[in-house]
Amino acid sequence: MKRVEENHHASSLQLAKEVESQTEVIVSHDTLQRTLQRNGMNGCRPRRKPFLKPMRKKGHLEFARAHAEKE
């Protein structure tokens, strides 16, 4: 549990390999996932952020400046 809290972006497969290398006990990543879910830790993927090109950034800034006075 402590390893998961320290590295919460790691996949269950990476965590299973880490456990195996440190304790020499083979643990399936499915077993690891079930154990984490029982303890209230559910996996999720990080939200994707849009890639903003310089031209898009300029457009966003212009829009923000044009509409800043409306508030």
31, 20 in Cβ contact below 8 A?
Answer: no
How many whole angstroms separate alpha carbon 39 and alpha carbon 37?
A: 5
pLDDT of 15: 84
Query: Is the pTM higher than 0.75?
Result: no
Element spanning 36, H or E = helix 29-38
Q: Measured between alpha carbons, how far is 35 from 33 in angstroms, rounded to an integer?
A: 5
Instruction: Provide the domain limits for residue 43.
Output: 2-70
Total count of domains within the chain? 1
pLDDT tens for each residue of 26-60: 989 888 888 888 888 877 777 888 888 999 999 99
- Residue type, position 12, single letter: S
> What is the DSSP code string of 3-45?
HHHHTTTS-HHHHHHHHHHHH-----HHHHHHHHHHTT----P
